[in-house]
Structures are given as C-alpha cells and as structure tokens.
Amino acid sequence: MNKLIGNKIGRLKWVIVFVAVCLLCGGMKIGLAQEVGKVDLNALTQETQKISQKADEMTLIWWIPEEFWQISFAQDPTATEAQSEEFIKILHPYTLIAVVDGKVGSFGGVTYRSEADIRANINIRDSQGAYYMPFNEDEVDTDVKNLLSMIKPVIVNMLGPLGQNMHFLLFPAKNKNDQNIAEAKKEGAFSVKVGEREFKWRLPLGSLLPPKICPKCGEKLSGAYNYCPYDGTPLKK
C-alpha cells in the first residue's frame, strides 16, 4: 500500500508543476525531460514526504517548501525568473502541507477522513514546541485559493480516490517572533501532528545541499550530515 502511494505521488509532483507553470505561462507545456537545475527533484520530493508505515493506514504528509517551486521552475525552459519569483511570492506567507489520511479495511478498501476532520485534528510544531493550526479559507489570499482550486481537479482525474481525498492545508510561514517555522536549507526541525501521530523533519534537507566527503573514510555523504555515520569524523560545513 505504501509503495502504491509512493508511485502515484511520484507522478503527482509533475502534475502540480505543470498546473503551476500553465498558470504563469499561458498554457505552455512544461519540459519534463530537461533538467536545468542541479538538484534532483525526485530526491527532494521523497525527502519532503512522510508516509505512514502501518499496514492499516493510507496516510501521506507532504511538506511542499518554496525550494520545490524554485527548482521546478528552474528545470522548465518555458518559465522565466520573473514568473518564478511572482509565483513564490504568492505562497511565501504560508507553509503548504498536502495530506491524505485513510484507514485500510480488512479487504483493502480505504475509508478516507474528510478535510473538515483532518483540519480539526492537525497542527504543525516548530523546534520550540509551539504549534500552529491551519488557516481557515477566509484567511487565505484569493490567488492562493485559485491556484489550489485549479490543481485539485487535475489531481482527482489522475489519482482517483487518492486525489479526491488529498487536501492542501495552509499554515503560517513564520512564528510570533517573525522567524521562519521551517527552513529547508537551515538547521532546525519541525513536525506535523495528525491526531496522536507525529511526522518529523530534521533540517536542512540533504537533497538541497552539495554532498560531503568524509576526510577519513572517503565516503560520499548527504550534505545535511555533520558527522560521518560510519566513523564519527566531523564533516566540514
């Protein structure tokens, strides 16, 4: 079941990118095969997703940071830098989380939780333990609502019930001290709590950083590592 989610979401990221670029480029087609940027978008997508490991749960939590959009636009030859900046500016005040949450029955049927139920039982938590609830619809900018409303039917057509039950929730991007709650390239941590279940991210994301080489064993390691996991050698930042 978890493999099924992973395969479908692997295709979904391109759907989201396609719709986003069409909004800004007047319907131009995205160049999916051309990789302009150095970051592996597949690796970034996997690193920003958390999937429940329980056999009776169909649960996906996908944090979509600004870097996802920056890299997606950078790898699309039809998009300009100005268009990318304008798109990211629209989403900048928000932390965007996509959620699917369902229970798998004895014979494989999935009972999905409604958006209202998920909204009432989800929050994000920063590294200090402060928590934040999702914005209500009337608190969200119209341009952002229009974007998500255009993405939704494409996802439904592509993924069926999984897409129908994928909900995009918007949380604050900053805490009360005007500090970012989650920064993909800086050290820190945050989590998404759904009921009693907590899905955690340790930051920075390794996929966004150049790899590090252990000076002792020569192993090529994630750019997010501070120490070699094989011999404990400190790694240069």
Which pLDDT tens digit goes with each residue over 151-167?
778 777 777 788 889 89
Res. 24: pLDDT tops 60: no
Res. 104: pLDDT tops 60: yes
What pLDDT is recorded for position 12?
A: 52
With residues binned 3-state (H G I as helix, E B as strand, rest as coil), the percentages for the chain, rounded to 5, are 35, 25, 40
What pLDDT is recorded for position 32?
A: 34
Lowest mean pLDDT among 29-43, 100-114, 117-131, 154-168: 29-43
Using 50, 70 and 90 to split pLDDT, how confident is the model at 36? very low
The CA R_g of the chain, rounded to the nearest whole Å, is: 18
% of the chain exceeding 70 in pLDDT: 84
What pLDDT is recorded for position 185?
A: 92
pTM score, whole prediction: 0.81
What pLDDT is recorded for position 74?
A: 81
- 170-186 pLDDT tens trace: 999 999 899 999 999 99
Extents of the domains making up the chain: 2-204, 210-237
Res. 13: pLDDT tops 70: no
Handedness of CA 162, 62, 3, 29 (dihedral sign): positive
d(CA 78, CA 200): 35
Using 50, 70 and 90 to split pLDDT, how confident is the model at 33? very low
What pLDDT is recorded for position 21?
A: 45
Torsion from C-alpha of 64, 65, 67, 73, nearest 10 degrees: 40
% of the chain exceeding 90 in pLDDT: 46
